[in-house]
């Protein structure tokens, strides 16, 4: 049961990060479509910053789960956030 709750939180964290990434692309993009902006950000080296900004939505999901006393789901969101942090580190420095 605990693994299921952590997995649900992990999936929610990944979805929240993806939605935050799309929101960041719309806010900071040049009016281009999502694919063009992501390719441009990879070429110019600021993709990791977009992903990091997208992770802000994980904060909201985390606190919603904490407020509802769903600690294991909050733990899954935290796990997704750490995974995204490692991913952005690898993209930026490798």
The dihedrals phi and psi of 32, each to the nearest 5 degrees, come to: -80, 175
Report which of 56, 55, 54, 76 is spatially closest to residue 65, judged by C-alpha positions. Answer: 76
What's this model's pTM, rounded to 2 decimal places?
A: 0.89
Domain that holds residue 85: 2-93
> Domain count of the chain?
1
Which residues lie closer than 8 Å to 14 by C-beta, 6 or more apart? 80, 84
Q: Quick: pLDDT tens for 37-80.
A: 888 888 888 888 888 898 999 999 999 999 999 999 999 999 99
């Amino acid at each position: 049961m605990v693994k299921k709750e952590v997995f649900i939180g992990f999936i929610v964290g990944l979805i929240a990060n993806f939605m935050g990434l799309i929101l960041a692309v719309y806010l900071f993009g040049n009016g281009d479509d999502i694919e063009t902006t992501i390719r441009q950000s990879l070429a110019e080296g600021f993709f990791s910053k977009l992903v990091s900004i997208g992770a802000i939505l994980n904060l909201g999901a985390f606190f919603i789960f904490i407020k509802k006393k769903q600690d294991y789901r909050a733990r899954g969101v935290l796990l997704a956030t750490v995974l995204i942090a490692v991913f952005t580190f690898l993209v930026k420095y490798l």
